Structure 1
Amino acid sequence: MVTISDVAKAAGVSISTVSYALSGKRAITASTRTRIEAAIRELDYEPNAGARMLAGATTNILALSAPIHADGHLPTHMRFVTAVVDTARKHDYDVLLLATDDDVSGIRRVAASSLVDGVVAMGVKNHDERVDVVRRAALPAAFIGIPGEDGHSGDGVACVDLDFELAGRLAVTTLAEAGHRSIGVVGHPPTYLARGTGFVQRFNLGLEAEAAARGIRIAVVSPTLARGAAERAFDELLDASPEMTAVIFHCNEPVVESVLRRIRERGLDVPRDLSLFAACASYDTSHLVIPLDCIPLPLDLMCRIAVESALRQVRGADALGVELITPVTENRGSVARPRL
């Protein structure tokens, strides 16, 4: 294994001079730097990441804390991962994926080893232990999601998210302005709320507030991911609310696909019999068996903002605070005025 001592010997300089060349902490002559760089290339020397951090340099590695949960949708999860990696690569950074369902152990390990320059965290909860971990480690970090019980402060860390509360209001507004007065909602599994997933709570808050303000009747089902659960939940929704003329989906793509199949099995026409709207969709609703009007989730934008926020902190800038992205709607022809 090639060491810094081997590089120094090949370049004809001291070990400390090689260290200065790597860290940039002291100026060295151009000719000396050229000899050191030639020796590094010839010997294929790779400085130890921890040593570079101790020397004040960077590792050009970000950690992505992306815990995988049994009730999650892995393709969507990996879209977030891919978007983070793509942005990091544009800044000449690699990404170390921390994917255990234990939110904090991975960050503690990389912080203790000085292996990474910073952290991007997804799968954010209201009470997110990772906030305290990155603070104690003085580790640059950005969260895709908003920690904190109020859903606005971000617990004093850098974070970015869609404005889910406004998205809930916008979903109801879109249907209410089309004349719908009784709306069903197909939501995420109950386990999302049980573990304090903030975006679900914020969406529900906005949806319920707007429905109450407009006098709209809301009926909600939250199917699990078990086989047939989505279809049964939709049947229950129709049976409990026969006057229902529209449905909002705030759930993962497989649940939406299952309900769309059930709608066809029941002979319902969209939007003549039932208007459909996908809120905060992480998938392309134009490719579904029934294309859906939607509020798209700006996943790529969220990931780009988070990575760039973490990197600004690595460079010493103050990048703290909450950035909320304003939701917008896209029309696919699945919403119309209800039949009288």
Structure 2
Amino acid sequence: MVTISDVAKAAGVSISTVSYALSGKRSITETTRRRIETAIRELDYEPSAAARMLAGATTNILALSAPIHDDGHLPTHMRFVTAVVDTARQHDYDVLLLATDDDVSGIRRVASSSLVDGVVAMGVKAHDDRVDLVRGLRLPAAFIGVPGGGDDLACVDLDFEGAGELAIGTLADAGHREVGVIGHPPSYLERDTGFVQRFNAGLERAASRRGIRIQVASPTLARGAAERAYDELASGLPDMTALLFHCNEPVVEAVLRRIRDLGLEVPTDLSVFAACASYDTEHLPTALSSIPLPLDQMCRIAVESALHQVQGIDAPGVELIAPVYQDRGSVARPGR
């Protein structure tokens, strides 16, 4: 496959000069521009953005493919949307939100009408139809998440497997041997949500390696479901000394109320930990130690990766952000 580096070498210029010629963001001499155009034609350099930008036909609009699901948490969804918009604005780009279409129809529509220069996709599935679509359209694209078969595309995410391992490792190091886990609704797995699968894989691997007994409850969004999930864990794990959240904020708040109503103290009676938290765990009714979700960083990397492709720079592949533990005092040794 011909790359921008090959074009630069053939034209006798730097990669950045080729990028400037493609984006039009800096002026270059007409002679240099003609050499780059000649190299692109002779090498059959194919990114779809190249021809559009050499013709000055960019729109300065990115599409954000962000389908809304009934079981999703809209405030978290909108935090992603806002972070994408904020980063795009820093690069003088507007964002066209594709929220009501299925995963592919909105992208196909805006690409066919040349409304956008590229696309950022969120809500990524393990097997995501948007992978083959953007690849077939040769559309600059970046995924907030890691779809299967998308290793050649720009993808950024938290290392969810590593987060699952870090969460269990943190509790194991504190002496916990029976851990209850409250996860996302069952529908997340039913629709093939990739980050949940990867977190669960890391969680189970670490639990097996460290000899930790875990039990997972996945409450729906129905009233009282979160409280019932906690009671289910307490019944199934009578020696449970730690509770691990991998779920949205309303479920966390409901379970913390249930723990308080039962007269339990955190962390004296029960250690509590929030994994991959998109919310501020310091301002919950009980501040929780956590692995934060680097939402702003993920969105910034995705937008900039898409815009680099618009400029003719090749997709960087998969970038996983290492999980980081924040200690807020909600994890202690059992029986402290």
Q: Same fold (TM over 0.5)?
A: yes
Tell me if 1:93 matches 2:89: no
What are the Cα deviations for residues 279-298 of structure 1, in whole angstroms up to 9, with x where unaligned? Answer: 00000000000000000000
Structure 1 contact 53–59 (Cα < 8 Å) conserved: no
Equivalent residue, structure 1, for 2:265: 269
Equivalent residue, structure 2, for 1:58: 58
Change beyond 3 A, Cα 1:101–1:184: farther
Tell me if 1:161 matches 2:157: yes
Q: Distance in 1 between the 2:222 and 2:232 partners?
A: 16
What are the Cα deviations for residues 164-219 of structure 1, in whole angstroms up to 9, with x where unaligned? Answer: 00000000000000000000000000110111101000000000000000110001
Q: Which residue, out of 210, 213, 216, partners 1:217?
A: 213
Equivalent residue, structure 1, for 2:104: 104
Q: Which residue, out of 253, 258, 261, partners 2:254?
A: 258
Letter in 2 for 1:86: D
What percent of counterpart residues are identical?
Answer: 77
Q: Distance in 2 between the 1:224 and 1:131 partners?
A: 29
Change beyond 3 A, Cα 1:336–1:101: farther
Structure ranking higher on relative contact order (CA contacts 8 Å, 6+ apart)? 2
Letter in 2 for 1:63: A
- Mapping of residues 169-180 of structure 1, within 5 Å: 169-180=165-176
What are the Cα deviations for residues 281-329 of structure 1, in whole angstroms up to 9, with x where unaligned? Answer: 0000000000000000000000000000000000000123100000001
1:56 CA displacement? 4.1
State the TM-score, normalized to the length of structure 1. 0.83
Letter in 1 for 2:291: I
In the alignment, structure 2 segments of 5+ residues that lack a partner are 1-23, 31-51
Matched residue of 1:191: which SS? helix
Tell me if 1:299 matches 2:295: yes
Matched residue of 1:254: which SS? helix
Which aligned runs of 4 or more in structure 1 are off by greater than 6 angstroms? 24-27
Equivalent residue, structure 2, for 1:82: 82
Structure 1 contact 160–323 (Cα < 8 Å) conserved: yes
1:146 CA displacement? 0.2
Alpha carbon RMSD of aligned pairs, Å? 2.1
- Mapping of residues 172-321 of structure 1, within 5 Å: 172-321=168-317
Rg: which structure is higher? Answer: 1
1:155 CA displacement? 4.1
Q: Distance in 1 between the 2:266 and 2:211 partners?
A: 24
Letter in 1 for 2:252: V
Matched residue of 2:103: which SS? coil
Q: Distance in 1 between the 2:84 and 2:151 partners?
A: 22
Matched residue of 1:108: which SS? helix
Letter in 2 for 1:278: A
Structure 1 contact 124–146 (Cα < 8 Å) conserved: yes
Q: Distance in 1 between the 2:105 and 2:327 partners?
A: 43
1:157 CA displacement? 1.1
Matched residue of 1:84: which SS? helix
1:55 CA displacement? 3.8
Letter in 1 for 2:77: H
Letter in 1 for 2:271: S
Equivalent residue, structure 1, for 2:318: 322
Q: Distance in 1 between the 2:284 and 2:150 partners?
A: 35
Q: Distance in 1 between the 2:218 and 2:108 partners?
A: 34
Equivalent residue, structure 2, for 1:48: none
What are the Cα deviations for residues 43-96 of structure 1, in whole angstroms up to 9, with x where unaligned? Answer: xxxxxxxxx879442100000000100000000000000000000000000000
Q: Distance in 2 between the 1:330 and 1:53 partners?
A: 44
What are the Cα deviations for residues 12-40 of structure 1, in whole angstroms up to 9, with x where unaligned? Answer: xxxxxxxxx9xx9996xxxxxxxxxxxxx
Q: Distance in 2 between the 1:61 and 1:196 partners?
A: 29
Q: Distance in 2 between the 1:55 and 1:156 partners?
A: 27
- Range moving further from structure 2, 301-310 or 100-109: 100-109
Equivalent residue, structure 1, for 2:44: none
1:335 CA displacement? 0.4
Equivalent residue, structure 1, for 2:10: none
Letter in 1 for 2:133: V
Equivalent residue, structure 2, for 1:139: 139
Change beyond 3 A, Cα 1:327–1:200: same
Q: Distance in 2 between the 1:286 and 1:296 partners?
A: 11
1:136 CA displacement? 1.5
Change beyond 3 A, Cα 1:244–1:82: same
Q: Distance in 2 between the 1:251 and 1:184 partners?
A: 13
Matched residue of 1:156: which SS? coil
In the alignment, structure 1 segments of 5+ residues that lack a partner are 1-20, 28-51
